[in-house]
Every structure is written in C-alpha cells, then in structure tokens.
Amino acid sequence: MGKVKIKKQSTIIDMTAMSDVTVLLLTFFMLTSTFLQKEPVQVITPPSVSEEKVPDEKLVQVLIAPNGKVYMNLTGAKDSTQLSTETFRTEVLSQAYNTYRETHPSAPKLTAQAAKEFSKLNTFGVPMKELTKWIALPLEKRDAFLKDEGGIPIQLSVKDGPRNEFQTWLAAIKSVMQEHGLGRDLIGGRGVAIKAEQSSPYSLVQVVMDNLQTEKLNKFTLMTSLKVEEE
C-alpha cells in the first residue's frame, strides 16, 4: 500500500503587518512624548515631605547653580488658545531687551531671527550685553557658554534704585502674563518656582527671593525631591 504524502506548508511568517504596527507606534510615541530638556548645570534639590507638585505650564523657573549663578526657564500654557511657550518667550525677550536698550542705546538691535531662536531655547541666563552673541552661537556651544560665562546679573535689591537685569526679566514676564490674562497664575504663587542646589547657602536663595518680592511676586514654590516622612 502506497504512502500518503503530506503536502508541505511554508513555515515563513509574513511580518509586514507587524512591522507596520511597530513603526506606527514608534512614530506615535516620538510625536507625543515630552523630552527632558538639558540644563546648563546639574542641581540636586533638597529633600522634602511636601507632595504638592510644581505645575508644568504657565511657569517661570529660576535655577540657582551651586556657584551662585542664576538662570531662568519659561513655559507657556498647553492650551493653544492661551499663551504658548514660544510666544511667551518671544514677547518676554522683546520687552526685557528693549528696556535694556533704553539705558544702553549702543546695544545691537534684536533681529527677528534671534527672537525666533530664543523662543526655542529651554534655559537661558546671560548678561544682556552678551545676549545677541549667545543666541548667535551654534547649538553645541551655547551650553558651554552658559556654564562658563553665563548667569543673569543679580544682587540684593535696592527699593528705590534702578532694576538689575534679573528684575528686568521679572518685570517683562509679569507684564506679558498680565497682558494675556495670566497674572493671577503668576501672583498667586503657582507661577514661579525656585530650583536650588541642596548644599547651596541660604544667602543665595535669599537674594533671589528678595528680588522676587521687590517685583511684588511674594508667593513662589521651592522645588524639592520627595522623601518619606519620618515617624
């Protein structure tokens, strides 16, 4: 009796559909993810038992480096009908720099291209006289410049004296947010956050707080790392 031959079937599995799904998922996550922005200096925040979260929009973050240099980061609203991050940064830059040029008329004018570049930057903080030079630097050199030559000029405020550059930025931020109906967020205390090194002396933080209060920003958040509350 003859043997029955079983027809061989292909063992190849068509992975085309799976590859398409993988690429689609990868594209989705790349477009919707928020990447961690690099800061010019590494700051280890002090521990705290408070669980109140710092908002991730409509926020002015003041970064105090261990060496005392001060930087800033501006984040607008997520709602497209309100103040976007890029618009926020552009308008603040325009007001702050124009105020600086009133007392320094020889300073170069701010070009539209420079303003556009600034609107895409995360953390900034250089003296006004170096601002246009810093913006014009290649991307890979900006961080090194911030770390070595950066830092917004700041000192203990004088009640009736001229604004220092840190206060000039604060005044511009306050003005822009009020123009867009967001002044309550800023003055209410959830619009300003201070991030300082855990080993930094209190005197450094005090200078920043003193300048905030001079601009009538009396409420703000201190960024900390969450720890378990001890019994």
Mean pLDDT by runs of 10 across the 231 residues of the chain is: 62 69 77 61 59 78 89 88 91 95 92 93 92 91 88 77 90 92 76 84 87 87 62 40
**pLDDT value at residue 45:** 64
Does the model's pTM come out above 0.85? no
Q: Please report which helix (H) or strand (E) contains residue 228, including its range.
A: none
**Residue in the structure block whose two tokens are 């556009």:** 116
**pLDDT value at residue 216:** 87
**pLDDT value at residue 229:** 46
**pLDDT value at residue 14:** 67
**pLDDT value at residue 214:** 87
**pLDDT value at residue 231:** 40
**pLDDT value at residue 166:** 95
Say how far apart CA 75 and CA 25 lie, in whole Å: 28
* Pick from 38, 39, 79: nearest CA to 56: 79
